[in-house]
Amino acid sequence: MKICLINPNTTAAMTQKAASAARAVVSDDTQVIASNPAMGPESIEGFYDEVFSVPGLIEEIKKNSDADAYVLACFDDTGLDAARCCTERPVVAIGEAAYHLASMIGAKFGVVTTLSRSVAALEHNLIKYGLMARCSGVRASDVPVLELESITADGASNPAYDKICAEIEAAIKIDKAESIVLGCAGMADLPERLSREFSVPVVDGVAAAARMAESLAALGLTTSKIGAYAAPGAKQYSGIMRPFQP
């Protein structure tokens, strides 16, 4: 099986980090190819950046039309609805994947993201998915996306890491979160360390989405084409399809 992971921003280091996170969790016989648009924003922080990343994201889907499933590796789930219009193959975004899986391992999950300007976009998504009902709150750590790179694997003291930890602690103690969702693709290398530190499950959306996309493809499930995700320009179904003949 071939999964195409698309990072909708242009920072290749993030694309590689996400690809590694995905490859670490899929089955041996699943190939993960990863790409990002050549042009567009370096990171996606809020509504404005989303706009300029989506045309490139759609382009990448079209270029990789032989994939069995797609992963959109931006936690805002940027361009998800449009991407689903372009292909019958399953498309999974990393925010939704993380929320869905976190719903199955605790009563409530907390989300810790980067900048406060991104909070509203994540909340809109949670409401649209229905999963705000399971979320104890979305907290901003005020660590810009690109500053996440300063966190090193050796666990050295680091202000960006400390800010994230402070919000996780607040999510658990104040908001009563039972698990934590990390709200940025750039945090894909942190779940293990944070989970050990806080004794709660910590979900990274990239790994989650890779497994969900692989699962949908393995199950033979495709994107429905009779409504919201009809192909552009396709004949209108209007909810009417081939009459049922028992």
Backbone angles phi, psi at 219, to 5 degrees: -80, -5
Measured from the CB atom, is 38 or 227 closer to its own copies?
227
Query: Is 201 exposed, middle or buried (CB count within 10 Å of its CB: 0-12, 13-18, 19+)?
Result: middle
**C-beta of residue 83 within 8 angstroms of C-beta of residue 58:** yes
Residue 239 gets which letter from DSSP?
Answer: T
> Residue 232 Cβ, how far from its own copies at the closest point, in Å?
4
> Residue 102 Cβ, how far from its own copies at the closest point, in Å?
8
**C-beta of residue 57 within 8 angstroms of C-beta of residue 6:** yes
The pattern of x and - marking residues 113 through 152 that bind its own copies according to CB under 8 A reads: --xxx-xxx-xx--xxxxxxxx-----x-x-x--------
Smallest CA-to-CA distance from 216 within 127, 124, 97, 110 is with 97
Question: What residues form DSSP beta bridges with 71?
Answer: 5, 92
- The residue behind tokens 């530190």 is 197
Interface with its own copies, residue 52, by CB under 8 A: yes
> Residue 3 Cβ, how far from its own copies at the closest point, in Å?
13
The pattern of x and - marking residues 69 through 98 that bind its own copies according to CB under 8 A reads: ----------x-xx-xxx---x-x---x--
Query: Any alpha helices (H) in 174-236, and if so which ranges?
Result: 191-198, 205-218
Binding span for its own copies by CB under 8 A among 8-16, 145-153, 181-189, 223-231? 223-231
Interface with its own copies, residue 232, by CB under 8 A: yes
Task: Tell which one of 31, 63, 105, 149 touches its own copies (CB under 8 A).
Answer: 105
- The helix or strand, by DSSP H or E, that contains position 111, with its residue range, turns out to be strand 109-113
Question: What is each CA distance from 163 to 50, 87, 224, in whole angstroms?
Answer: 25, 39, 41
Using CA atoms, how far apart are residues 124 and 119, in angstroms rounded to an integer?
9
Interface with its own copies, residue 193, by CB under 8 A: no
Binding span for its own copies by CB under 8 A among 8-16, 31-39, 164-172, 182-190? 164-172
Measured from the CB atom, is 152 or 224 closer to its own copies?
224
Binding span for its own copies by CB under 8 A among 10-18, 31-39, 145-153, 168-176? 168-176
Measured from the CB atom, is 33 or 85 closer to its own copies?
85
For 35, the token pair is 């790409």
> Residue 14 Cβ, how far from its own copies at the closest point, in Å?
18
Task: Tell which one of 20, 23, 33, 47 touches its own copies (CB under 8 A).
Answer: 47
- The helix or strand, by DSSP H or E, that contains position 101, with its residue range, turns out to be helix 94-102
